[in-house]
Amino acid sequence: MENRPPRRAPSRHAGSKAPLGVRRVAELLLTAGLTAGAVFGAALALNDPRFKELLNVRIGPGNGQSAGQQDPGSAGEAGQVPQAEGRLGAPPPGLEESDAPLAAADPPPLGSDSYHFLAVNGDGSPVGYSPCRPLHYVINNELAPAGSQQLVTESIATISAATGIRFIYDGTTAEQPSPQRPPYQPGAYGERWAPLLIAWTTPEVAPQLKGKVIGTGGSTHFSYDDGPKAFVTGGLDLDAPQIADELLNPDGHLYARAVILHELSHVMGLDHVDDPTQLMYPEIGTPEGLSAGDLNGLYELSKAQCRKDL
Ligand SMILES: [Zn+2]
């Protein structure tokens, strides 16, 4: 599945003058290219049955509000395709979507253009979450270190203020992280986009956490044909043993929170920057949290469009 866009290798900063004990953070996990048109093209090239499922779901009755971009002649046939759990697909559009953003993002106190986006639309606008619906999240906390729930809650509040996105905690889950995570899992979560999955996990379960990598984060975007993209769900994987060790240090909770904030910023749509004064630098050298560039990038992401069509 073509869900791993080319990214810079984490090791490229190995030679930087990072202090000892620098915290490494990983590349994004889930910025899957679920743009339907592109996926359809991939299906033709790859002959992967999963992509055909996505196409069928896309033009099925569940997405009738985008009729202008669909092939009505195919709807009946598509509607007969069973939409089994675990296959790529999309829920009925517009769930919980309001006419306007649910909250305003806090304007950054300082200007800075030291930020990059993980994905942009054809008009150059960054791909983010619709600010007009809440972003639900669940936590697999089976391996969560003691005291970590507060760090997650604080980090969510910080990102919510910076983006205007309203987060809703839906409780714990037994779902394990996977780079192939379906964005729509009606059997597990109902007929809506799957919630953001925050998983306390291990390198054995999540191989991208092997070595010094302490966390990964990213989101899945969706669009119709060549229309604008929006993130619909995401994943944030935290190396539970490594962070538990970190929390033994006097300032460990600060570093752990910085890791969570960094990964949540990936989830919202920020990419790494080469500027070591920003939290989105690929290594966390200080635990000071979001800097001016990070905050300005998140503020730009708060301007994403409402998406009743998704
Ligand atoms: Zn990162």
pLDDT of residue 88: 53
Quote the ligand 1 centre to 234 CA distance (angstroms). Answer: 14
- Judge whether residue 90 has pLDDT over 70: yes
Query: Residue ranges per domain, the chain?
Result: 22-34+106-301
As a residue count, the chain comes to 310
List, as ranges, residues with CB under 5 A of the ion ligand 1.
25
Quote the ligand 1 centre to 76 CA distance (angstroms). Answer: 43
Compute CA distances 247 → 82, 142, 265, whole Å: 47, 17, 21
CATH code at 22-34+106-301: 3.40.390.10
Compute CA distances 9 → 2, 26, 28, 147, 283, whole Å: 18, 9, 11, 32, 12
Burial 220-256 (b: 16+ CB within 10 A, else e): bbbbbeebbbbbbbbbbbbbbebbbebbeeeebbbbb
Quote the ligand 1 centre to 151 CA distance (angstroms). Answer: 18
| 164-215: pLDDT as tens digits | 999 999 999 999 999 889 999 999 999 999 999 999 999 999 999 999 999 9
Confidence band of 59 (pLDDT split at 50, 70, 90): very low
| 260-277: pLDDT as tens digits | 999 999 999 999 999 999
